[in-house]
């Protein structure tokens, strides 16, 4: 069965600092991988996706993620965090149109 | 294009009642999926509909059901509500052939 692990429940970074959110997945075949962001009281917004090809994918809002098959990882990065990035971030693996989500990482940004 | 819309945004129901939630997908999208989000269980897949047919189903009791209409709009129904059904219910749409889903704002259901 597919599963996604996000090891960090909370992360706090200073505004302007770099960010890396970790995601590990378990999936038998080539995975479809996604990162979503959720602000309080809101739905999920798709940041980026990996289906195949280049293992470094670019997304919206300056985010990128790198797929590493050998490590079963799909970590999300941003070189310089803005206060507006404070939110909860979810990694997901897709099996057709069924998404399996990690537990989420809450990002706090301190000024 | 307009995004995914869900109505109502907030609902308060009493144990034992039933509830119907509605989702209108992005224009042209034929697949609608439903997810339940709770603090304890996180985001869990309920079911997916494509062209009016349930194509995939999660591990939820039969009290949770859904349907899709010919215009791709979808409804989900929860009968005999329990306190544990209090959650944010999220709807997502996709083209059905490309597996990226776009989410609506959700319906916050509170069962008292």
**Ordered DSSP codes for B79-107:** -S--GGG-EEEEEEEE-SSS---EE---E
Q: What is the pLDDT of residue B93?
A: 95
Q: Cα separations (Å) of A82 from A14, A45, A58, A61, A86?
A: 9, 17, 17, 10, 8
Q: Which residues of B fall within a CB distance of 8 Å from A44? A: 90, 92, 103
Q: Predicted confidence band at B98 (pLDDT cuts at 50, 70, 90)?
A: low
Phi (first) and psi of residue A103, to 5 degrees: -75, -10
* Residues whose CB is less than 8 angstroms from the CB of residue A38 and which lie 6 or more positions away in sequence, other chains included: A44, A45, A87, A88, A89, A90, A104
Beta carbon pairs, A and B, within 8 Å: 57
**Distance (Å, rounded) from C-alpha A78 to C-alpha A71?**
20
Residue A43's region, left for phi above 0, alpha for psi from -120 to 50, else beta, is beta
> In terms of CA atoms, which chain B residue is nearest residue A46?
B102
pLDDT tens-digit profile, chain A (111 residues): 789 999 999 999 999 999 999 999 998 777 899 999 999 888 999 999 998 888 999 999 999 999 999 999 999 999 999 999 999 999 999 877 789 999 999 999 999
**Cis amide linkage into residue B8, ω under 30° from 0:** yes
> Helix or strand or coil: residue A61?
helix
How near does any CA of chain B get to the CA of A3, in Å? 12
> In terms of CA atoms, which chain A residue is nearest residue B41?
A103
- Both tokens assigned to B59: 């591990």
> Does the beta-carbon distance from B45 to A99 stay under 8 Å?
yes
List of E strands, chain B:
5-7, 10-13, 19-24, 31-38, 42-50, 53-57, 64-68, 74-78, 87-94, 102-103, 107-111
> Does the beta-carbon distance from A44 to B92 stay under 8 Å?
yes
With a cut of 80, say whether residue B96 has pLDDT above it: no
Q: Which residues of B fall within a CB distance of 8 Å from A92? A: 43
> In terms of CA atoms, which chain A residue is nearest residue B50?
A97
Asked if the C-beta of B68 comes within 8 angstroms of chain A's C-beta atoms, the answer is no
- Closest Cβ–Cβ partner in B99, B105, B106 for A97: B99
Mean pLDDT, chain B, integer: 95
> Does the beta-carbon distance from A34 to B100 stay under 8 Å?
yes
pLDDT digit string, tens, across residues B67-79: 999 999 999 999 9
Tell me the CATH class for A3-110: mainly beta
How near does any CA of chain A get to the CA of B53, in Å? 13
* Residues whose CB is less than 8 angstroms from the CB of residue A3 and which lie 6 or more positions away in sequence, other chains included: A25, A26, A93, A100
Question: Which of A1, A97, A99 is the best mutation test for B, with the most CBs of B within 10 A?
Answer: A97
> In terms of CA atoms, which chain B residue is nearest residue A49?
B100
């Amino acid at each position: 069965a597919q599963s996604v692990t996000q090891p960090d429940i909370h992360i706090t970074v200073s505004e302007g600092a770099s960010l890396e959110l970790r995601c590990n997945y378990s999936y038998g075949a080539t995975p479809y991988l996604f990162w979503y962001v959720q602000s309080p009281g809101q739905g999920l917004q798709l940041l980026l996706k990996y289906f195949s090809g280049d293992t470094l994918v670019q997304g919206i809002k300056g985010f990128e993620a790198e797929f590493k098959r050998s490590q079963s990882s799909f970590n999300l990065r941003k070189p310089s965090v803005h206060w507006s990035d404070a939110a909860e971030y979810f990694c997901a693996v897709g099996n057709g149109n069924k998404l399996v989500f990690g537990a989420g990482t809450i990002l706090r940004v301190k000024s | 294009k307009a995004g995914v819309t869900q109505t109502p945004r907030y609902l308060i129901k009493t144990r034992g009642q039933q509830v119907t939630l509605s989702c209108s997908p992005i224009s042209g999208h034929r697949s609608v999926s439903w997810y339940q989000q709770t603090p304890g269980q996180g985001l869990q897949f309920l079911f997916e509909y494509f062209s009016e047919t349930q194509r995939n189903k999660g591990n939820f009791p039969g009290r949770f059901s859904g349907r899709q209409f010919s215009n791709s709009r979808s409804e989900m129904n929860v009968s005999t509500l329990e306190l544990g059904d209090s959650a944010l219910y999220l709807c997502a749409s996709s083209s059905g052939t490309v597996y990226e889903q776009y989410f609506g704002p959700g319906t916050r259901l509170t069962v008292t």
